[in-house]
Amino acid sequence: MAIWNLGSINEDRFYRVPRLPKPGETLDTVDFQIGLGGKGANQSVAAARAGASVWHIGCVGPGGGWAKDRLTQAGINTAHVMQGSVPTGHANVHVDAQGENMIVVFPGANRALTWPQIEAALNDSQSGDYLLLQNETNLTAEAARMAREKGLFVVYSAAPFRPDATAAVLPFVDLLVLNEIEAVQLASALGAPAEALPVANLLTTKGAAGARWQDLQSGQVTEVPAFPVAAVDTTGAGDCFIGYTIAGLDLGLTTQDAMRLGAAASALKVTRRGTADGIPDRAEVDAFLAELET
């Protein structure tokens, strides 16, 4: 089958700082780099490097062709990545000495997608394919509705958390993905814990504590631990985990094995700088897992 991703494409600007700044404080950076990012691009790169067939649906601005080229080089079909007049989205990422981050995002072209573009892309999808969604593009709920009607499995990362966007998408979601902070935000905004929402499956990522998949219909719970590593940069680790996990499912792995694959990939990711640029390929992840078993 295939994975379709209606997702953001950003220019990530990394500022290495000795510590994260306080309000009103000015800090000198230790280093500065530019790379490919955006939650959507990160998830697409992860899924493609895991070995899945991935189609990205997105938009870049003038001069954004480099980002589309980088996606293509990662093995992603970019026929539905358009170039418009709105500037390419970008993120200013501050990373401290412990690998923790603080991020400010300019959505730009990610919020300039058109419905004919999305409709044309999803018309090429088939029942049984996956659709990945996040909160960094426009027309997310409309895409989720069409995908559900076509029989796709809709995976929704409710991040960055926006109550209005999340409420609009939830009726069409098969798998809701949250981190622990987003789960608290969702419960507060909607007046119900995530486990009580009308979705079939809930995947909660818990950083160093691993991840938990709950089948809310059968009550079955699948958990995987995180692999302990020395973190250099945690930016994009959650996206790496999601992309690899969904790719594993698409390639026929069990939920447990797909999540373990995702956990291994994200463990390697946090030992490297960058977002999409730091995502490992499948051979590296398999070697990491094989070494653990020896």
Q: Is 281 a catalytic residue?
A: no
Dihedrals phi, psi of 93, to nearest 5 degrees: -110, 115
In this structure, are strands 89-95 and 101-106 parallel, antiparallel, or unpaired?
antiparallel
Distance CA 258, CA 250 (A): 9
Q: In what order do the strands lie in the sheet with 221-224?
A: 77-83, 54-60, 3-6, 130-133, 153-157, 175-179, 201-205, 211-215, 221-224
Task: Name the active-site residue from 12, 233, 239, 277.
Answer: 239
Q: Helix crossing, 237-250 with 255-269: angle to 10°?
A: 150
Short-list 215, 285, 265, 247, CA closest to 132: 247
How far is CA 37 from each of CA 13, 110, 199, rounded to the nearest angstrom? 9, 12, 28
Helices and strands (H, E) in the chain, number of each type: 9, 13
Active site residues: 239
